[in-house]
């Protein structure tokens, strides 16, 4: 019985010591990191950034960058009754982008395909 009690105590201590590290690893999860609009996208997260004549889409997983090399993204944009499609290409470690701009109030559906991963999809409303 004493052996079982010691094992249980050891497991509780290990869990208590691991908890702060888990909290730190997820501190950025659910929060915009690049000044854009954040959305959940299946097993990852997407952040849409619209500034300076460029539209960028950042891909992260629990706050960590997800490499986008070899991937592509398509944005379906609804603005004022008009529909258009934008193709985004890899531009940095976890960023896909294109030259364009989005108007406030635009509704955007992002579809991302990355090598070796399930397709990602998210919806945004530009502010």
Q: What is the pLDDT of residues 93-121, one digit of tens each?
A: 999 999 999 999 999 999 999 999 999 99
One DSSP character per residue, 38-90 reads EEEETTEEEEEEEETTEEEEEEEETTEE---TT-EEEEEEEETTEEEEEEEEE
Other Cβ atoms less than 10 A from the Cβ of 66: the count is 20
pLDDT of res. 30: 72
Could you tell me the pTM of the whole model? 0.77
Q: Give the CA angle between residues 101, 94, 61 to the nearest 5°.
A: 115
28 by Cβ neighbours in 10 Å (0-12 / 13-18 / 19+) ranks as middle
Q: Give the CA angle between residues 87, 94, 48 to the nearest 5°.
A: 55
Give 24-49 pLDDT, tens digit per residue: 445 666 789 999 999 999 999 999 99
What whole-number percentage of the chain has pLDDT above 70? 77
């Amino acid at each position: 019985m004493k052996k079982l009690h010691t094992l249980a105590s050891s497991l509780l201590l290990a869990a208590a010591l691991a908890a702060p590290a888990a909290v730190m690893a997820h501190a950025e999860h659910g929060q915009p990191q690049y000044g854009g609009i954040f959305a959940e996208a299946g097993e990852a997260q997407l952040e849409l950034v619209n500034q300076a004549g460029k539209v960028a889409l950042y891909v992260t997983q629990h706050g960590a960058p997800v490499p986008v090399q070899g991937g592509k993204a398509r944005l379906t944009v609804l603005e004022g009754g008009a529909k258009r499609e934008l193709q985004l290409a890899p531009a940095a470690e976890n960023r896909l982008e294109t030259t364009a701009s989005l108007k406030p109030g635009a509704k955007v559906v992002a579809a991302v395909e990355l090598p070796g991963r399930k397709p990602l999809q998210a919806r945004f409303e530009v502010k």
